[in-house]
Structure 1
Amino acid sequence: MRKSRKRKEFFTICVLALISISILLYFHYTREKFNVPSNLPKVYITCQHNIRRNVYKDCVVEIDYDSTIGKIKIRGVRNYFFPKQEYRLQLSEQKSFLNMRTDDDWILFAMYNDFTGLRIKLCFDLWRSLEPTDATAILPKSEYVNLYINNEYKGLYLLAEKDDRKLFDLDDYQKNTKSSFIFKINSVFNFTNYNEDAWEQNYPDIEEYNLKDKILPDLTSFIEASSDLEFFDPKVGIYSKFDKKNLIDFFIFNHFIYHGDFWNRNIILLRNTSPSKYILIPWDFDASFGQYGELTNHPRSNTSKDINAHNYLFRRLINNRDFMWNSRVRWLELREELWTEDYIMNKLFNYYKDIKESLKISMTVYDLDKKIDRYVDYLIDWIPERLEYCDEYFLHY
């Protein structure tokens, strides 16, 4: 009887050991079957539910060996239909990851239409590089990561801070038109004929106080209907409402990166408590630096045509001699002191060195049989020629 019992115990131990080893091997295989490089941080998300677009689902998040409970949902409307989806993370506690801010709200950008894996990150960092000389040049910090969901490799992602009140350091909202706010164009809007459906109010919560329908109609009417004398009046004109340096840098930046599919959408409008001025923040860089997926634009493409057709605010500005002269001065200053070709290209090469192997594997995961080098080479050639074109463009004024 004793021998039989011992045999059963031994058999049970062996079975449990075999199961444990199998589980460990499975997790190791599913995590590493693509031989993902170890130089980038890894994000592991475990979720027992189908991840949806409109509803957060409970999950466990591990970033750089730091685990926490959280919630996850698919981010965006168009992204929902892509094989590689973007995600919002809402953590149960505030955490700092990869030398970014301490927060509980994070974004995972998929970069699905950025075959270089470089353009979106470069846009974020170039706009942020203006902040020492322009306090309005704010965008989230971001870092490249390799993402796993339920131990399945999902590819190369960009982990970023959230574009929210905390990022822009806004005051608590007030229930009046002097309040701080964040609005975003979510469909076509050219700054004429105010359409409430074209804008979303990100802060404050629109259910608590609908601020956009109190501010945007008057602002749109001024942009559309004011005379040139009134529009550029030093006391009551456009620069009394908007931060002038922000308007100049916003134009220069988006002109340089040739921000396609942009001038009538993907714009953030914000303000701190009045009398603070309106500020514009660029967003959504899928179409930038002459590429959008397989589509390309020539480096000497003229942004002015897009602006004149799609954005009445900047149409008025770029047809004003003073605005263009100030834009020229600012561009030459940046080219001399910051945005040199070496500065931009060194950023690009450093990014690519870090992500090259992960990017190739990521493209394989989604059956994107693309020649990555072709798109990267196009970008490497595009930027110097675009800089040369912009130099000529601004020297004209």
Structure 2
Amino acid sequence: MFEDSVGDMTGKKAIWMAVSFFSLVVLLLMYYLGVENYSDHIIDNNKFEEIVGSRALADDMSVQVSFDKQNLFYDDAAKTFFYSLIDDKEEAYDPSVEVTGDADVQFAFLDSKITDDVIANNIPIRCIFYNDRSYCIRKIVCTFLPIMNLECDGEITESETEMSMSLYDNRQQCRARDLSSDGFVRIRGGNTKVFPKKPLKLSLVQRGEGDDRQGNDMSLLGMRKDDDYILYPAYNDAEKVRNVFSQNLWYNSCNTNNRYGITTGVEYRFLELFINGEYNGLYALGYTPDEKMGDISKNDEGTGFYKRVVGIDSARVLFDQYGGIFGWRAENVPADDDDGNLKEKRWNLLMDYLENLQENSEDVGALEACIDIDNAIDYTLFINLIQGDDNLYKNYYLCVKETDDGYYSYICPWDLDVTWGNMWVPNVKNGYLQYGHEPHYNLLFEDLYLGQIMAGNSSDIVRKCCDRFEELRENAWSDEVIQKMLDEYEKDVCFSGAYLRDKERWSDGNYREEGEPNNFDRFRDYVSQRLSEANKYYARLRKVSGEDIFIRRAAQYKNFDNSSFVIEINDRGLLNDSSYVALLGRIGGIDVGKIDENVRYVVKIHGKETVYLSDFAEGDSPCENPVEMSFGGHKLVLKSGVERDYLDDTGYTVYLDGVACYDAYTADREPFIVSLAYEGFGEKMNLKREYRINFN
């Protein structure tokens, strides 16, 4: 045993000596071969003036610069080289330098080391190239990000354009630094493709014999092997991080938490993009959810993979002119499905799935059997945590599989830019209001099966949701894990200088307010507050987990007990329903006996008496002229201003003391409306209880 130990020690010593000898040899070779580093060529202004004063300016000098064997990307229009530092490599701040091109060319860097401050503040390094007769001046920009260039034959449009892709991977651990592929590029996306900075799709191909081209599966920046990638521009996000952060958070935490361990998430990596050698800004490289994640065959008749693309309630099922269901897109339809047979089966499967939901709307057990409950809970918790305002009735992928026992389905999140306080508002810059929501704002995904389960007698599922949230907060959603993720993205976006370069390139995009520091301080603070408010919400929810659905929903609202309320009653029969009566009791101070046939609105001012008001007079229309009802120094106003195109219905907004509480409609009045008003903000409660499909 002792001899074995001595042998191990002797072996380790021999290895150490060999490594040391090899390192010494490398250093000696570098010395004798004349390898020069960046720091060897820094000059002061006097030396610069001496070089310039005895030579003529010649902008046509041809030079190629390499740092540590990395051929620097060059933007000819900006006369700028781009240097991507290898991640976490100290030597990257003083790289070896090699310059080739015109004969006898020499080079120097004007009085500037490569530092974190230089990189973060996008300070270009001035570099002079010269020989005995002439000189030229160029700039070098340093970044912590990978760099991609697309060389295209023509303009990039929504049709595929041939291109060649080259990528420099600066991650510390990667198999190859320089990657390249032929392929095609096109503009992709929905609303975001109208912005000047376009979202793009890359299709990588490899050439075979003749004109034969096949998909070229490659792992780019450590992601899965694929031949399809997307480039996400984040034009409308002031921090440029929400979509990337949210998608990767799901991938790292809830991705395979389902019955079969199926992948339900995608990844993104930040990079800086050039198109035909010209700088095009900060992008994120990623891919879309697809059938590959679940190993779904396009020819599998019993499985459908769908994208929810239009944000209307799933209970409104409309058929489009192509035989599909409006608002959905069937993804796994083979291109050679000439007779439409498989496409028809895809739509029939989705329709059967929705019909099953309707038929079993009051049977919690039957509903649970048709979904992956863990995946559905995770998605609901996740969308609430990140405040996915645009992900309640659209922007998710749904896989439906018909089995011998019924159905099986799971959800994949997608398009998570309207999150973490952001909200869509049509009349603000680029349509997105930065930090429009408060950190305590909760919204729940209540579409499809889990929404119907939660509306029923499901206290055990509610407690399971609370348990799962606590589990995630202790691990994958802990403050420490999330702040570490933000550290990485802050380095990528801010400390790389890419944010400032992107702002120079696309000045009309959304960015931080002038004067805000070049970091994620505000975003970090918001995320931290949101995590804290989510903790409080699920603590409130746990306390009322056994109560009626409306009492549980009241827990969503941090200020419920400090709010004023506007209640509109259009179906007095609901006053005989214990759930609605319980909600009125939870609000407090409302006498149900006073709500007779003459009462349409009940207004409860916080800390004051309740007022019972009639409807606007017959013949009046708030859609044409404002209707005002005054009481005790307060005012309820009904004023035109909203429309619903898909119902051809004109509506109006209800205001309490100037606070917009909710939208209402003359042709389609909801049976029972409860809206809160507090601190200048109005919010309508969700009182949906049953899933009913309207076949049109």
Sort the TM-score into its range (normalised by shorter chain). 0.7 to 0.9
Residue equivalent to 2:76: 27
> Following superposition of structure 1 onto structure 2, how do residues 150-229 of structure 1 map, counting pairs within 5 Å?
150-166=276-292, 168-174=293-299, 176=301, 178=302, 180-195=303-318, 196-205=325-334, 208=337, 209-210=342-343, 211-228=345-362
Off by >6 Å, runs of 4+ in structure 1: 17-20, 22-26
Q: For 1:271 and 1:110, locate their aligned partners in 2 and report how far apart those are by CA, in whole Å.
A: 31
Q: For 1:106 and 1:160, locate their aligned partners in 2 and report how far apart those are by CA, in whole Å.
A: 6
Structure 1 gaps, min length 5: 1-16
Q: For 2:410 and 2:64, locate their aligned partners in 1 and report how far apart those are by CA, in whole Å.
A: 53
Residue equivalent to 2:460: 322
Two-structure CA RMSD over aligned residues (Å)? 2.7
Task: Tell me whether 188-197 or 353-362 shows the greater mean CA deviation.
Answer: 188-197
Q: For 1:77 and 1:350, locate their aligned partners in 2 and report how far apart those are by CA, in whole Å.
A: 29
| CA contact 1:31–1:148 (8 Å) conserved in 2 | no
Structure 2 gaps, min length 5: 1-57, 66-73, 83-121, 125-140, 169-177, 206-215, 319-324, 424-431, 543-696
Residue equivalent to 1:7: none
Of 261, 274, 294 in structure 1, the residue corresponding to residue 433 of structure 2 is 294
Q: For 2:330 and 2:278, locate their aligned partners in 1 and report how far apart those are by CA, in whole Å.
A: 35
| CA contact 1:30–1:153 (8 Å) conserved in 2 | no
Residue identity (%):
22
Residue equivalent to 2:374: 245
Q: For 1:97 and 1:267, locate their aligned partners in 2 and report how far apart those are by CA, in whole Å.
A: 24
Post-superposition shift, 1:249?
Answer: 0.4
Task: Tell me whether 203-212 or 383-392 shows the greater mean CA deviation.
Answer: 203-212
**Structure with bigger RCO (C-alpha 8 Å, 6+ apart):** 1
Amino acid at match of 1:184: K
| CA contact 2:421–2:439 (8 Å) conserved in 1 | yes
Residue equivalent to 1:6: none
| CA contact 1:190–1:312 (8 Å) conserved in 2 | no
- Asked if residue 285 in structure 1 is aligned to residue 416 in structure 2, the reply is yes
Structure 1 residues 26 and 218, CA gap change in structure 2 (3 angstroms):
closer
Q: For 2:237 and 2:401, locate their aligned partners in 1 and report how far apart those are by CA, in whole Å.
A: 33
Post-superposition shift, 1:387?
Answer: 1.3
- Secondary structure at 2:331 match in 1: strand
Q: For 2:371 and 2:75, locate their aligned partners in 1 and report how far apart those are by CA, in whole Å.
A: 57
Structure 1 residues 281 and 171, CA gap change in structure 2 (3 angstroms):
closer
| CA contact 2:381–2:469 (8 Å) conserved in 1 | yes
Q: For 2:336 and 2:203, locate their aligned partners in 1 and report how far apart those are by CA, in whole Å.
A: 21
Structure 1 residues 227 and 141, CA gap change in structure 2 (3 angstroms):
closer
TM-score w.r.t. structure 2 length? Answer: 0.49
Structure 1 residues 380 and 162, CA gap change in structure 2 (3 angstroms):
same
Q: For 1:360 and 1:318, locate their aligned partners in 2 and report how far apart those are by CA, in whole Å.
A: 46
Residue equivalent to 1:336: 474
Of 162, 175, 181 in structure 2, the residue corresponding to residue 68 of structure 1 is 181
Of 537, 547, 554 in structure 2, the residue corresponding to residue 393 of structure 1 is 537
Asked which structure has the greater CA Rg, the reply is 2
Residue equivalent to 1:59: 163
Post-superposition shift, 1:18?
Answer: 8.8
Post-superposition shift, 1:205?
Answer: 3.3
Post-superposition shift, 1:225?
Answer: 4.8
Of 383, 388, 395 in structure 1, the residue corresponding to residue 527 of structure 2 is 383
Residue equivalent to 1:106: 229
Q: For 1:119 and 1:155, locate their aligned partners in 2 and report how far apart those are by CA, in whole Å.
A: 17
Q: In the TM superposition, what whole-angstrom CA distance separates every residue of 1:310-357 from its partner, at most 9, and x where no partner exists?
A: x35454233332221110010111112331111101211221022211
> Following superposition of structure 1 onto structure 2, how do residues 131-142 of structure 1 map, counting pairs within 5 Å?
131=255, 133-134=257-258, 135-136=261-262, 138-142=264-268
Task: Tell me whether 24-33 or 375-384 shows the greater mean CA deviation.
Answer: 24-33
- Secondary structure at 1:129 match in 2: helix
Post-superposition shift, 1:23?
Answer: 11
Amino acid at match of 1:42: I
Q: For 1:349 and 1:287, locate their aligned partners in 2 and report how far apart those are by CA, in whole Å.
A: 21
